[in-house]
Amino acid sequence: MSWSRFFRRRRADAELREEVDAYLAEETAENIARGATPEEARRRARIKLGNPQSVRETLWRQNSILLLDTLGRDLKYAARTLRRTPGFTTIAMLVMALCIGAATSLFTVVRSVLLRPLPFRDPGRVVMLYEHFRDARSNQEGFNYNVVSPADFFDWRAQTHGFEDMAAWRYWQFNLSGERGELPELLHAGGGSWNLFPLLGVPAVVGRTFAENEDRPDGNAVMLTWNLFERRFGGNPSIVGRQIHLDGKPYTVVGVLPKWFTYPDAEIEVWVPYASSLPPELLQHHDFHFSHVVARLRPDVSLANAVSQVEAVQYRLHLQYLNAPVAEDVAPRTINDDLARDVKKPLLILMCAAACMLLIGCLNVANLLVARGAARQREMAIRGALGAQRLTLIRAQIMESLLICVAGGVGGVLLSLAATQWLASAWKDLPSAERIHVDGVVLGFACALVFLAALLAGLLPAISSTGKAVFAALQASSRTASGNLSRAALRKTLLTVEIAVTVVLLIGAGLLLKSFARLRSTDAGCVTDNVLTLNYSLPAQKYGVPEKMNGFNESLLEKLRAMPGVRAVALGSTLPGEGYGGDDVFTIKEHPPLKPGAVLPDALTRWADPGYFSALQIPLLKGRFFTGDDRLGQARKVIISNRLARQYFSDENPVGKSIRVPAYNAEFEIVGIVGDTLWWVGERVMPTMYFPILDGGIHTGQALAVRTDSDALAMSIPVQKQIAALDPELPVSNVQTMQQAIGDSLGNARFSATLVLSFAVLSLVLASVGLYGVLSYLMTQRTTELGVRMALGAQRDQVLWMMLWDGLRPAIIGLALGSAASAGIAQLILFMLYDTKPLDPAVYIAVTCTLLTVAILACMIPAWRASRLDPMQALRAE
């Protein structure tokens, strides 16, 4: 028995036949030589040879691989059966292709984002370390991992031994000047400690990575990412060793990073050493949190042990700076989880939704196969009676579902190739989106899905159609064989499960949609129509003197306000809905001092020009806005948000009181209270402090909002021209309308709601097809019975109701089960819901109505047809 023989059986057989013929000729000749007549000689030769057919068969079997042979036969039969019903086959394959495609796509994303290790040296030992505060807010979702302050990082690195090394990096941005007349542009940058790249095991492809002595505040080394190297410098390696100007200051290019290196995201285009471009005194602070710490665990130390060493250091620091925001604990997490941050849970939920849809698809195909099983009952019974083993019959039937699933799987994988591309580009928050691609593991997963689905969809019908009851079909009076009834019961059970899962998906989608609608209609707390926003950043090199900075800002505001079509202009540090922006702890001077160790109140920090609030239509509740006089020496003023006033001043009048901010080592007089704005749509409103932007401080990154008469985007070019007129070297970024900016924060909610909704709608279609199928099947099964009933006087509408009720029962049971399950499952997506209760009655009622309507429609056709039966014909049938 061998593979080559197996595939050359036909040739071997032909050869054998020739060989046997030769033998016969030889033997005949010999017999003739002995004196027999030719007739007799041939007869004797044949007798001697025996049955040549059996020789051939023996050899054929000897050359066959038994399992493969029967498998091949089963496949052939299955393919023929499927070809006989092209409609059913196409639908089943499409259903499986959609379901497998969706599941595969999501798995591709899950694998790339959550499972596949980043391409660093020994990535299993790389962890991220964060500070962790013990107060209630820090223990909420999303706040458990606080970025680290530089002095903490230096102490951790110097005083602990559990990690081979620790590195830190921070987000930054620079204006890149055009060296040879190119346009200036704003670059996202990373500031990484000199040991970051060696720690991660990332070499420079051209030049080298940073040296230890370059990692200092006045350092001027810079590394380019591959993207910038190619895009801006034409991929010319001679750039290494040359100078480029960032924020007007010369930096020397020391190296270029590899193309695959897009950590922490692809937006970062240049890297400078951690300490460079920071004021030296900032590195001494324990309460300026802005660093991400990457640590490589020593192979002989456990993570818990290493972290506990760092925690000991951190707790000591906390005790040392009791009244500053220095965290008590340290929180580690893997580098994959760190990048996946906010998408991990939604991703898993979507994966579950896709799995549900796959389950529904399988149930649906199973249901259709059960119906087909009915038609083949006699065949099964005869084969069983002739001695076919049950396992053989089951195997033969599973082949059909296997074929459907394999074809569906191939289609699904092709589909998922396209769908994954779309997912990666449509899902804004997905980290390392450029690493998302189909690989061997994903294909393996798809194969596993195919076989699982084939088993799931094929096993139930196969078992049900080969049971003992089937032999009843051989009996003459098989018109109402018990097998049919049990099969109908099986189909109804499958249908009930299908509908229950559909209901869960529908309710999940409903909740997410409602939450999205709520998000979209949230009031940001300011005007959002016809507002153009953009960012620019005045480089300290050029605008390091307060008068210069104020001069630029004020003349820009003046020019813009004078433009026709412009109603108002606001200049600040971070506009509403644009993000966190930064926060600081404060104390209230007039209040009794807090006890040592108490958590200091914390508020978002914003800078605003005098026209800011009126331009954005943020209402003044008390006191006054800033004026042009709140500048430089006279700028120790603060405007607080309503939330801050209510939270920390309860019933006293805050105006006239003073806030002390330890980080600036200064006191600020409260001059006004303004309405609350959202810092991110979907996040809770936070207390906010506004300081005058003309205070002479070095503000990196200004946000400009221009409110226009009509279409805001049409003003973008004129506004940019005004900026270029003041400083042609100043790049602007994020030019968009405020609604677009806020829309960004809605992207994820819209995305997951749409995706789950499409899964749910598809499931609903599948379920209704299933309902229709089952009822039509039942009707044909019961034709005779219905005929008898009608002949005996049953009214048509009675029959209609009876059939309708028969079909609706599984729908109603499924609905009840699904709603009950959803009540539990909705708790799991609680974190994705905004202002929507997991038991939202409107959603449940809407889903119930939708499902019932669809179910009634699906059942109505077969039920109506049943009620139109001609009793005489029904009785004569069969």
Residues that bind other proteins (CB under 8 A): 1-2, 5, 12, 15-16, 18-20, 22-23, 25-27, 29, 48-51, 54-55, 58-59, 62-63
Q: With respect to other proteins, which residue has the nearer C-beta, 42 or 865?
A: 42
To other proteins, the closest distance from the beta carbon of 338 in angstroms equals 60
561 to each of 260, 410, 568, 753, how far by Cα in Å?
A: 46, 61, 6, 41
Cβ of residue 48: shortest distance to other proteins, in angstroms? 7
Residue (of 631, 636, 723) closest to 186 by Cα position: 723
Least distance in angstroms from the C-beta of 21 to other proteins: 9
Three-state secondary structure call for residue 235: coil
State the nearest-atom distance from the C-beta of 16 to other proteins, in Å: 6
Judged by CB, which is closer to other proteins: 3, or 878? 3
Closest CA to 575 of 746, 704, 713: 704
* Rounded Cα gap, residues 492 and 512, in angstroms: 30
Burial class (CB in 10 A: 0-12, 13-18, 19+), 638: buried
Identify which of residues 28 and 768 has a Cβ nearer to other proteins in the complex. Answer: 28
Enter the DSSP assignment of 658.
E
Whichever of 16 and 463 has its CB closer to other proteins, that residue is 16
Identity of residue 20: V
**Residue 210 contacts by C-beta under 8 Å, 6 or more apart in sequence?**
192, 194, 197, 221, 223, 254, 271, 273
CB-nearer residue toward other proteins: 25 or 414: 25
Say how far apart CA 394 and CA 402 lie, in whole Å: 12
CA distance 831 to 819: 20
The three-state (H, E, C) secondary structure of 323-336, written as one string: CCCCCCEEEEEEHH
Is 262 in a helix, a strand, or coil? Answer: coil
875: amino acid identity, one letter: L
The pair phi, psi for residue 707, each rounded to 5°, is -90, 130
Select 48 or 591, whichever has its Cβ closest to other proteins.
Answer: 48
User: Is the Cβ of residue 51 or residue 521 nearer to other proteins in the bound state?
Assistant: 51
CA distances from 191 to 121, 168, 199, 657, 850 (A): 21, 8, 15, 39, 54
| 498 closest CA partner among 737, 772, 796, 273 | 772
The SS3 assignment for 278 reads coil
51 or 475, CB closer to other proteins? 51
What minimum distance in Å lies between the beta carbon of 392 and other proteins? 23
* Residue 568 parent element (H or E): strand 566-572
How are beta strands 249-256 and 221-224 bridged, if at all? parallel
Q: Give the shortest CB-8-to-other proteins separation in angstroms.
A: 11
Least distance between other proteins and beta carbon 61 (Å): 9
Closest CA to 764 of 512, 510, 513: 510
| Least Å from the CB of residue 28 to other proteins | 10
User: Could you tell me which of 133, 151, 132 has the C-alpha nearest to residue 285?
Assistant: 151
Phi, psi of 10 (to 5 degrees): -65, -45
Q: Which is nearer to other proteins, 11 or 479 (CB)?
A: 11
The first and second tokens of residue 294, run together, are 């990457």
Quote the distance between the C-alpha of residue 671 and its chain's center.
Answer: 46
Q: How far apart are CA 173 and CA 701, in angstroms?
A: 9
End-to-end CA distance of the chain: 50
Minimum distance from residue 6 beta carbon to other proteins (Å): 11
Minimal distance, residue 484 CB to other proteins, in Å? 41
> Shortest approach of other proteins to residue 27 CB, angstroms?
6
Q: Closest CB to other proteins among 69 and 379? A: 69
CB of residue 5 vs other proteins: minimum separation in angstroms?
Answer: 6
Considering the complex, state which of residue 24 and residue 563 has its C-beta at the smaller distance from other proteins: 24
Q: How far is the CB of 384 from other proteins (least distance, A)?
A: 25
Nearer to other proteins, 54 or 521 (CB): 54
Cα–Cα distance, 749 to 756 (Å, whole number)? 11
Please name the amino acid found at residue 355: A
Amino acid at 464: S
Nearer Cβ to other proteins (15/529): 15
